[in-house]
Amino acid sequence: MKGLAISGSLVGTSTTAASAGDGRNGSEQGPQRKLYGSASRRTELTSENGAPRERYERKRAERERRLERQLGSEFDALTVGDEDNLSYVDHWEHEYDVDSDQTDATIAETDHTMTLLEAVDDSGNRVTDGDGRYVYVFEHYSKSEGQHRFWHGDPKTTHMDSHLDVRNTNVELSDRDPRTSETLDGEYVSIGVEGTAGPVGFGISGATYVDNGQIGPGDYSPGDAGEYSVRFVGCSERDVTDIIGYSVLRSSVLIPDLESGTGLRWSTEVEAQTTNTGPC
């Protein structure tokens, strides 16, 4: 399920922390300016600020259709969308633009989801592990779509991050994927997690295309009150650049039922720039 890379060519909320520039100065390249920008959001994950399930279903279907069009016969080999003994609980969204800190022109439009799934048996009943803990999987997904404008060069995504901060000592971060960083240029990679919850085996997988960059873990601290982020760093020239990853949590309490919130914080960040020709 993990680490399968396939060469391929392409066809074709409650938030805080507003977007901000990264402070770098622009430079002239021919008739067009080289622009930089960054933006971020942060959300406390609670049942009150989750998004409607139908939005998750629609976005996931769009994502899988795009992958299937791009991969063709290789789509099945990546086991995209495999989901065993996991049931949807809730999801959260960030949608924001990355604007140039010099001109306010939009360089990229971004869309992010953090989806909470719980381990269940074949009848859909919630299960626990050998220590009596509930088992959850968070799916991190982020997408950046470059915006082409005649007055600036080609948009490129240079950094993208989806970070989960567990600030509840009853919740343990026990597994994740990707575990290591891979530097790729024009390859698809499958990413997924699998494990057990008592007698039940669970698993989920997804895939992404990496263009001229590195995908892997950013911040990672396992155990109680841990943290994990999925990160892309590079110079992607794709119209759409995305990342996907998974974190597994084991909790002595039901995450959705905490009266004071889940004790979980999700943040996303994207950096983008424009260039006329050549690398970033």
* 26 neighbors 36 (Cβ within 8 angstroms): yes
pLDDT bin (cut points 50, 70, 90) of residue 7 is very low
* 118 neighbors 142 (Cβ within 8 angstroms): no
Give the chain's length: 280
pTM: 0.84
Query: Which of the two residues, 24 and 33, has the higher pLDDT score?
Result: 33
77 pLDDT higher than 70: no
Environment class of residue 30 by beta-carbon count within 10 Å: exposed (0-12), middle (13-18) or buried (19+)? exposed
- Compute the average pLDDT of residues 6-27: 38
Quick one: which H or E segment has residue 32?
Answer: strand 32-34
- What pLDDT does residue 204 have? 95
Number of CB atoms found within 10 A of residue 96's CB? 18
Q: Is the dihedral of CA 48, 243, 142, 104 positive or negative?
A: positive
- Compute the average pLDDT of residues 226-251: 94
- What pLDDT does residue 76 have? 56
CA dist 38 and 279 (Å) reads 18
Q: Is the dihedral of CA 131, 134, 135, 138 positive or negative?
A: negative
